[in-house]
Amino acid sequence: MSARLHKWFIEETSVDTAHMFGVKEYIVSAKTPFQEVEIADTETFGRILVLDGKIQSSEYDEYVYHEALVHPAMLCCAKPRRVLVIGGGEGATVREIFLHPGVEEVVMVDLDREVVTLCREHLPSWHRGAFDDKRLTLHYMDARDFLVDNEEQFDVIISDVPETVEASPALKLFTCQYFELVRNRLSDGGVFVLQAGDFGLPFVGTHCAILNTVRQAFPDSYSYRTFISSFNTEWAFIISFKESRDKPDSAEIDLKVRERGLSLRFLDGETAASMFSLPLNIRKLIEKEKRIIDDQNLLTSY
């Protein structure tokens, strides 16, 4: 048995629960104008990225999160030529988008230039050179300001911002006003997807409120989820369609993967069928949810 690691990173998952990681070495420990950022090496999960005390991704399983986030939306869009990414500082979201043939332009809007710079330097296995692709345009600014100031239309919009913890700059990226802006920037047949919080009991209530809020702008919105080992929980996503349609099925996913010549490690039709199949107790919670998040009534995870 190896010697016990002498450094511990403790991620508080609620006011009285936590998730611990044994840390071999801290690579970065810094505070930007917007958030605290840490990059560390662990024995089990490899390198990890932490923002404001919350793990964002790990070297071991980031591909699970990013394939789950990106590919259902990209595959459900007939011709995803122009894609907007909100957040996504690691560069892995953009990496997965560029796997799809026919992508002509990706616009990435991230508030925190320093985090992107640190990720570019210290997380090369995440972005794999995606930041250098000439099809990528980077804007360092508030995402809502970008959506207000630019009337460009996008085929797919992907919101990959940190979860809704207290005082987070991302809080106003989970409101009905934000989702209406997103809808107005989607082209006909466009698809929107966002990471949407912890799907595990008893924390899933935040996700239910986000889904109910998204549905004010996008009636055809569907929850899906997958287990992320480094999060130690199932994590939720929401896919939304500008035009009425059902959630994707396994046959559609497999067909589009073959047509586009994708070689994925996590997602296929069988995986997608599992992700979009929600348990009875959660479906009941979603049905009962009445909360709508708006700019005057922001919702934090705890």
Residues catalogued as catalytic:
160
Cβ-based neighbours of 293, under 8 Å, separated by 6 or more = 174, 175, 176, 209, 210, 213, 299
Tokens for 223? 């929850």
SS (H, E, C) 109-167: EECCHHHHHHHHHHCHHHHCCHHHCCCEEEEECCHHHHHHHCCCCEEEEEEECCCCCCC
Question: What DSSP state is assigned to residue 229?
Answer: G
d(CA 272, CA 254): 9
SS3 46: strand
How far, in Å, are 49, 143, 267 from residue 33 at the CA level?
Answer: 17, 16, 36
d(CA 62, CA 90): 10
Tokens for 236? 């939720």
Residue 60 burial (C-beta neighbours within 10 Å; 0-12, 13-18, 19+): middle
